[in-house]
Amino acid sequence: MTGTGELVQARLSAADVVRVGTAGLRTRPLRVVLSALGVAIGIAAMLSVVGISASSRAGLDRALDRLGTNLLTVAPGSTMYGGSAELPERAVAMVRRIGPVRSVSAVGRVEAHVYRNDRIPVGQTNSIEVLAARTDLPRALAGRVRSGAWLNDATSRYPGVVLGATAARRLDVRTPGLRVWLGEEWFSVTGILAPMPLAGELDGAALVGWRTAERYLGFDGHPSCLYVRSAEPAVETVRSVLAATANPEAPTEVRVSRPSDALAARRATDETLSALLLGLGAVALLVGGIGVANTMVVSVLERRPEIGLRRSLGASRGQIRLQFLAESLLLTALGGAGGVLLGTAVTAAYATAQGWSVVVPWWAVSGGLALTLLIGAVAGLYPAVRASRMPPTEALAAR
């Protein structure tokens, strides 16, 4: 009231808005939890999809940065009659002559199987491929031996074998020094490789020295795959001449590929799948928003006497709208905060289990919270407008 006796409508401060907005939430805690849960599930689904995808891509990007994108592979294709072609025995030496080539190595397929011991039935091969390998293979692939040692000029002549990470697990070989039954001979395990992102076929292989394969396993000396490292600016140039250099007599029977391109394609596939899962998360969030809107409509109907009393005491329509809009925003904000925590926890748990770094993009967190507030504003708009248009007398008469 002013000095002239005129009534002046009171204004709601920010604290008043929060207080009246939380009044309805405090009186119906179970309904609030269930409504917020729908929003939380939607936000958690979206954030975990983004976080898990970002964590996996971060690990892949680090691997590509470490290994480089200048790796090319050369493999035999098919003959003009549909048969299997083969690379010449001198393919490695010929490719090494290309100027921009920095390193080249090779493996060759061997017709043999490896078993944990000589009592395993012949058919139980565990899908482990036996490959002859050159001693410079880790250099070409930036590979790393997880335990033990790689083949050298001495051990590559004797019955020694290095197991890929998957092959070691399938054979239940955890430490070097054990023996395995390979091609009717006992071979000593000299090392176990760490996983190789750009040469995944080696993870499930048993690798023996080139000369060992020729001496003990009947290897014919023809490589089945060449791994070529070139100078970064000259990758495409080297790629264009590799087929003709590796097999001058039949360049059309040679396949040249770039493993990093396959990884990029896999990443694009992962992004497509992530987009699909994000869409499902958005649907869950929409359902949660509808639940919030339903909760607010019911709240308006149940609180008609309160609305009538507040209107009778001088509250304006705008203040009534603001009260219920604030209540809707607080309800969805509660669900959004819970969803962010849940989504971050899911991302952290999954990334840790996979051995990845935990990456939760800040834009996903801020975008998720902003989206919840938008959902809250849209969900609470109609109930707020309906509450503000309710005549005081009609509201007070409601039971």
Domain edge (last residue) among 258, 289, 318: 258
Which is higher by pLDDT, 144 or 386? 144
Residue 3 belongs to a domain: no
pLDDT of residue 273: 53
Residue 9 belongs to a domain: no
Residue 30 belongs to a domain: yes
Based on the domain organization, do 307 and 375 belong to the same domain? yes
Based on the domain organization, do 274 and 217 belong to the same domain? no
Q: Which of 168, 175, 161 is nearest to 131 (CA)?
A: 161
Arithmetic mean of pLDDT, 19-27: 70
Is residue 284 scored above 50 in pLDDT? yes
Based on the domain organization, do 242 and 312 belong to the same domain? no
CA 80/CA 83 separation, integer angstroms: 7
Q: For 63-80, how does the pLDDT look when each residue is reduced to its tens digit (9 = 90+)? A: 665 656 788 889 998 877
Domain edge (last residue) among 209, 243, 258: 258
Based on the domain organization, do 195 and 293 belong to the same domain? no
Arithmetic mean of pLDDT, 186-201: 90
Residue 74 belongs to a domain: yes
Based on the domain organization, do 228 and 296 belong to the same domain? no
Based on the domain organization, do 49 and 143 belong to the same domain? no
Is residue 344 scored above 80 in pLDDT? yes
- Average pLDDT over the chain, rounded to whole? 81
Arithmetic mean of pLDDT, 337-352: 88
Q: Which of 326, 67, 209, 20 is nearest to 10 (CA)?
A: 20
3 within 8 A of 299, measured Cβ to Cβ: no
pLDDT band at 397 (very low <50, low <70, confident <90, very high): low
pLDDT of residue 281: 62
Is residue 8 scored above 60 in pLDDT? no
Q: Which of 13, 40, 64 is nearest to 264 (CA)?
A: 64
Residue 339 belongs to a domain: yes
pLDDT band at 286 (very low <50, low <70, confident <90, very high): confident
pLDDT of residue 323: 77
Residue 2 belongs to a domain: no
**Range from 28-42, 84-98, 297-311 carrying the lowest mean pLDDT:** 297-311
Based on the domain organization, do 101 and 224 belong to the same domain? yes
**Range from 140-149, 171-180, 277-286 carrying the lowest mean pLDDT:** 277-286
Based on the domain organization, do 165 and 111 belong to the same domain? yes
Question: Which SS3 state, helix, strand or coil, does residue 120 take?
Answer: coil
Based on the domain organization, do 293 and 381 belong to the same domain? yes
Q: For 126-157, how does the pLDDT look when each residue is reduced to its tens digit (9 = 90+)? A: 889 999 999 999 888 888 899 999 998 888 78
Based on the domain organization, do 192 and 292 belong to the same domain? no
CA 256/CA 229 separation, integer angstroms: 13
Residue 194 belongs to a domain: yes
Query: How many CA atoms does the CB half-sphere of 358 hold within 13 Å?
Result: 12
Based on the domain organization, do 337 and 353 belong to the same domain? yes
Tokens 């204004």 correspond to 11
- The parent domain of residue 104 ranges over 70-258
CA 142/CA 139 separation, integer angstroms: 5
CA 343/CA 361 separation, integer angstroms: 12
pLDDT of residue 91: 93
Most confident among 43-52, 121-130, 300-309, 381-390 (mean pLDDT): 121-130
Enumerate the H helices of the chain as residue ranges.
Answer: 14-27, 29-67, 91-96, 137-141, 165-171, 210-216, 235-246, 259-302, 304-312, 317-354, 362-388, 392-397
Tokens 């969803």 correspond to 339
Arithmetic mean of pLDDT, 86-94: 93
Which is higher by pLDDT, 10 or 135? 135
Number of domains in the chain: 2
pLDDT of residue 1: 46
Question: Which SS3 state, helix, strand or coil, does residue 129 take?
Answer: strand
Question: Which SS3 state, helix, strand or coil, does residue 393 take?
Answer: helix
281 within 8 A of 348, measured Cβ to Cβ: no
Residue 305 identity (one-letter amino acid): P
Q: For 37-60, how does the pLDDT look when each residue is reduced to its tens digit (9 = 90+)? A: 878 888 888 788 778 877 777 766
pLDDT of residue 399: 53
Quickly count: other Cβ atoms within 10 Å of residue 81's Cβ: 5
Domain edge (last residue) among 237, 258, 279: 258
Is residue 121 scored above 50 in pLDDT? yes
CA 84/CA 77 separation, integer angstroms: 7
Based on the domain organization, do 104 and 243 belong to the same domain? yes
pLDDT of residue 10: 56
Residue 169 belongs to a domain: yes
